[in-house]
Amino acid sequence: MENQTNECFYNMSMDFFYNNSMHKSDSWNSIRLNIVQSFGSVFCCFILFSNAMVIAVVVTNKRFHYPFYYLLANLAASDFLAGLAYVYLMFNTGAVSRTLSVQMYFFRQSLLDISLSASLTNLLVIAFERYIAVLNWKVHSNLTKRRVTLLIVLVWAISIFMGAVPSLGWNCICHLETCSQLAPIYSRSYLIFWSVSNLVLFLVMLSIYLKIYTYVKRKTAVLSSHTRGSLNRRRTPIRLIKTVMTVLGAFVICWTPGLIVLLLDGVNCHEQCKLTSFKRWLLLLAVLNSVMNPIIYSYKDEEMWLTFKNLLRCICNGTRRQRSSRANMRSSSQEPGSSLHTSDENKSAVHELDD
């Protein structure tokens, strides 16, 4: 029995691990699953388009060429990756999950883990940038582009490493008795570490942002009592902090239930907790977070919303011009002799006038 438990099963399909973890098959029929996939696909298309537009807004508008907005664009890039991860997950879930190989399952889950880690690390870096700006009482920090680039590279390096940890060895492929139920090749100890560490980081970030917000509001009240002018400039730091706090609040609300479920799975609470019955709803809640972020950016920042609309107009006008130019080219190519015919008529008319 000991030899059997220490044996590794890298060549087995996921059906073997689902059966080992006594994972109950989904009770959803194909129609209900197709409805969820349809709505999920619409959300994912919006996630990909809107977050790509946020990145384009920051790149094209020079007013956003500051560390805060560069990091905000990087957060949009993590949401863009989350959209890709959700698309891949939706069409490789349900009965398809059991046919996946171990490597494909690791790839599917690592996309989600990387996007979550990137979003969380981005929010930590933005907290660091806001802290520097607030201490100097400036709208934007003095971080150079080189340092911001290094921070962005560091964010993705940490995120990729965290997403690759299970495939690097912290799994249950060689120890089947430690497998979780929701992620049948993930070790329960890893799920406990993953969920607890993220929940602790949530609390840390909430406390940091609350301290920054109270400091900015207190200093703004003191300055406004002594200075009458430039009140809008004094309020700008508060607006940026409010934007980030709204993003952080949406992130915590949408991801905390899923992390709690993973924690319950890690402590082996299966029969009493009935974890598999609402896992898809928690996934849709996580998808909703990536849908909300671009809406929060544009709603909280008027300049970003105006640039967003201008980009949409440029795209629409560009497509209209392309269509009209193609139509003109087609009409001219379909009637090659008409121009020659009209030119001959013009020449004959000129000769008649000369006569």
Residues ≥6 apart with Cβ < 8 Å to 119: 75, 78, 79, 82, 251
End-to-end CA distance of the chain: 114
Instruction: Annotate 29-52 with three-state secondary structure.
Output: CHHHHHHHHHHHHHHHHHHHHHHH
For 184-211, write each residue's pLDDT tens digit: 999 999 999 999 999 998 888 888 888 8
What percent of the chain stands above pLDDT 90? 27
Band of residue 52 on the pLDDT scale cut at 50, 70, 90:
very high
Instruction: Measure the CA–CA gap between 122 and 47, rounded to whole angstroms.
Output: 18
Indicate whether 220 pLDDT > 90: no
Instruction: Match 């099963």 to its residue by tokens.
Output: 9
For 264-323, write each residue's pLDDT tens digit: 888 888 677 777 777 777 888 888 888 888 888 878 778 888 888 888 888 888 665 665
For 247-263, write each residue's pLDDT tens digit: 888 888 999 998 998 89
The mean-pLDDT minimum among 64-73, 191-200, 225-234 falls in 225-234
User: What is the pLDDT, as a whole number, of residue 241?
Assistant: 79
pTM of the full structure: 0.81
Band of residue 325 on the pLDDT scale cut at 50, 70, 90:
low
Question: Which neighbouring-strand residues pair with 13?
Answer: 101
Question: In whole angstroms, what separates CA 280 from the centre of its chain?
Answer: 18
Count of beta carbons in the 10 Å neighbourhood of residue 169: 9
User: What is the pLDDT, as a whole number, of residue 265?
Assistant: 87
Count of beta carbons in the 10 Å neighbourhood of residue 297: 26
DSSP conformational letter for 352: H
The CATH number of the domain covering residues in 28-306: 1.20.1070.10
For 290-307, write each residue's pLDDT tens digit: 888 888 887 877 888 888
Instruction: Measure the CA–CA gap between 170 and 188, rounded to whole angstroms.
Output: 10
Question: Which neighbouring-strand residues pair with 186?
Answer: 171
What percent of the chain stands above pLDDT 70? 81
Instruction: Measure the CA–CA gap between 32 and 35, rounded to whole angstroms.
Output: 5
Band of residue 334 on the pLDDT scale cut at 50, 70, 90:
low
Q: What is the mean pLDDT of residues 161-180?
A: 91
**Tokens standing for residue 136:** 């100097």
Domain map (residue ranges) of the chain: 28-306
Instruction: Match 């000129």 to its residue by tokens.
Output: 350
Estimate the crossing angle of helix 231-266 against helix 188-226, to 10 degrees: 160
Phi, psi angle pair for 261, to nearest 5°: -65, -40
What are the DSSP calls for 246-272, one per residue? HHHHHHHHHHHHHHHHHHHHHTT--TT
**Rg, Å, the chain Cα set:** 28
What are the DSSP calls for 297-346, one per residue? HHHH-HHHHHHHHHHHHHHHHHHHHHHHHHHHHHHHHH-HHHHHHHHHHH
User: What is the pLDDT, as a whole number, of residue 240?
Assistant: 76
Question: In whole angstroms, what separates CA 285 from the centre of its chain?
Answer: 13
